[in-house]
Structure 1
Amino acid sequence: METLPEVLARLGGQATFAELTRLVPKRELAARVESGVIRRVALGIYGLPGQPADEQAAVAYDGVVSHTSAALAWKLPLLKAPEKPHITLPAKRHPRPGPPAVLHWASIADEDRSNRLTSMLRTVTDCLRILPFDEALAVADSSLGKGITRRELLAATTAMRGPGSGRARKVAALATAGGESFLESMLRALLIQARIEGFETQVVVERGWVRARVDLGHRELKIALEAEGYEFHGSSKTFAEDCRRYDELVAAGWLVLRFTYQQVLFESEWVIEVVRQLIVSRSTGGTADSVARRSGAERGRRRKG
């Protein structure tokens, strides 16, 4: 005879009061809840203990994990995890009592209902509706490297209606599979919002037999922008390789700017200012030193202010 946890597991992690009391007396069910063997997640609905908060919320409301909560499940990049689970319910469904959650109402595909999770494509389009431009671009870029095609993304956003659909279409049109990191997408979003053109993702620079790849490159002006995350050089070998790559870029006539996570996210105005100054300098034949001096002087004035 199956135990109550085994029944719940077979039923996908949840069962109703009626389903469980067909197997055990009400008193035993109450005892199992009190002992923590199973838990009541909503009125008349029971689940297994230890489920993640978003799964518990989906069961409690009889909906599906969606939006940024689903993005975490699909391992799409987010600046921060949602404070409450995002749950989508079928359109016109009246919500029942449940744990804290952000509720959405929309049509839900049968496969999503059975998985209690929106598909990756649906998750991406939902995120493009609600996230700021730079974070949305990072999600869209990442999805194109995880099996979603550009055509699928454009078609899905074209079919969207309602709040945020115009923003979603704009982001989808700018998404690229070339980006290799969340921070690189965030840096590219800064350039787009500042209307700085000419930079491409993952540009390969060749010098003799040496090939160096840069995160964002301006081929005409030979400017390379590198998005430097929290990762550090784990060995002298990798450090030497990075130095060699940098030297080869400089020898090939490129100027390299390296921006950290902190700078891209919290000093965006300064980042854009430095890039613009370097573009002007390269366009008019100025030197990198003059750009650095102007940038340093401006930064000093801001700190004093």
Structure 2
Amino acid sequence: MDSVPEILARSGGWATSAQLLRATTRHQLNAAVERGEVERVARGVYGLLSLGPARLAALAYDGVVGYLSAAAAWQLPLLHKLEKPHIIVPVKRRPRAGRPAVLHWAEVTPDERRHRVTGLDRTVVDCTRVLPFGEALAVADAALRSGKLSSAELNAAATRMRGRGCPMALRIAAAATGLAESFLESILRSLLLEAGIDGFEPQVRIEHDGTWMRIDLGHRVLRIALEAEGYDFHGDRIAFAADCRRYDDLVAAGWLVLRFTYSQVLDDPAWVVATIRQAIALRTGHIRLLPSHPRLPLAQRRSG
């Protein structure tokens, strides 16, 4: 006779007690729970721990993993680690008692109930209901970059959306691109969009002396390059030299290069925007110093 975990694995990681008792005994089921091999997530419902806290919570509430938890399940980038799973429960249903979770009441499709997680297109537009513009754009960009969602599908999902967040969903769908290569690049682009700064394109390719280079965001007319620098750094002399040469080549090709770190983009967006505006003013011939943006120490900016 197969073990209880093996039976659950064949049924997608979870099953009701009635389903399990057709293939095993009550004694084996109780023993598997006592050994910690499976978890009783709700009355008459059992699941494997490998399902993870979000799906186990969905089973506990007889709901579906949605919103930010669905984004995590689809491996889309989130700025903050989730403290509680986000679960969608059917409209007008009074949820049964369960583990800590953020509950949302909405209709779900049969396919979503079967897999216990919202589809990728719905996940992206649902995130626009609860995330700031930049973070929602990063989620949408990553979904398009994965190749599992097309721009047409995202726009269709945003058009079908009803209720809170519809204007944001349409705005995100129009701005999202699969060309963005990182969360930080998406956030930097969102600052430009919110500030009304036009002309910058993601992943612009530049040729200089027979060598091709790519920049995160480039303004082809003004030849301004914006680079979003994450936490990664070059740890050896060869890589460091190659990085320096790349930026020297960009300058030699006539490009003004601005490099923004993770902390600058996330913690001091006003300074980032002001710096880009000043670079544009210099390039367009309006050579003037913009009003300086007061910059607080990093700890004060985060606490404030």
**Counterpart amino acid of 1:175?**
A
Distance 1:161 1:300, change over 3 A: closer
- Is the 2:264–2:272 Cα contact (8 Å) retained in structure 1? yes
Report the counterpart of residue 271 of structure 1 in structure 2: 272
Aligned equivalent of 1:57: 57
* Structure 1 unaligned residues grouped into runs of 5+: none
What amino acid sits opposite 1:245 in the alignment? R
Amino acid paired to 2:197: I
Instruction: Map Cα deviations across residues 191-237 of structure 1 (whole Å, 9 max, x no partner).
Output: 11111122111122223312221111112221111000011114333
Look up the match of 1:88.
Answer: 88
1:126 partnered with 2:126? yes
How many pairs were matched up? 297
Task: Check the 8 A contact 1:16/1:45 in 2, yes or no.
Answer: yes
Structure 1 residues 138, 299: CA separation in 2 closer, same or farther (over 3 Å shift)? same
1:185 aligns with 2:186: yes
Please give the alpha-carbon distance, in whole angstroms, between the structure 1 residues aligned to 2:39 and 2:295: 59
Alignment of 1:134-149 (within 5 A): 134-147=134-147, 148-149=149-150
TM-score (norm 1): 0.88
Contact residue 63 and residue 116 of structure 1 kept, 8 A? yes
Distance (whole Å) between structure 2 residues aligned to residue 271 and residue 197 of structure 1: 15
Q: What root-mean-square deviation, in Å, do the aligned CA atoms of Structure 1 and Structure 2 show?
A: 2.4
Partner residue, 2:156: 155
- Flag the 1:283–1:10 CA change in 2: closer, same or farther, 3 A: same
Q: Are 1:240 and 2:222 matched, yes or no? A: no
**1:48 matches 2:48:** yes
TM-score (norm 2): 0.89
Structure 2 unaligned spans of 5+: none
2:174 aligns to what?
Answer: 173
Partner of residue 11, structure 2: 11
* C-alpha distance in 2 between matches for 1:113 and 1:104: 15
SS of 1:284 mapped into structure 2: coil
CA distance in 2 between counterparts of 1:22 and 1:207 reads 70
Separation in 2, partners of 1:13, 1:252: 57
Moved over 6 A (4+): none
Cα distance change of structure 1 residues 35 and 192 upon mapping to structure 2, 3 Å threshold: same
Q: Name 1:37's counterpart in structure 2.
A: 37
Instruction: Give, in angstroms, the shift of residue 302 of structure 1.
Output: 5.2
Q: In 1, Cα distance between the equivalents of 2:193 and 2:262?
A: 18
Matched AA of 1:142? A
**Which deviates more, 192-201 or 34-43?**
34-43
The Cα of 1:299 is off from its aligned counterpart by 6.4
Q: CA deviation at 1:163?
A: 0.5
Q: Do the aligned residues in 2 keep the contact of 1:134 with 1:189 (CA within 8 Å)?
A: yes
Identical residues among aligned pairs (%): 55
Contact 2:7 2:23 in 1 (8 A): no
Contact kept in structure 2, 1:127 and 1:136, CA below 8 Å:
yes
Q: Deviations over 1:106-152 (max 9, x none)?
A: 22222222222222222112112221100011111111111211111
Residues 41, 59 of structure 2: 8 Å contact kept: yes
Deviates further, 179-188 or 58-67: 58-67
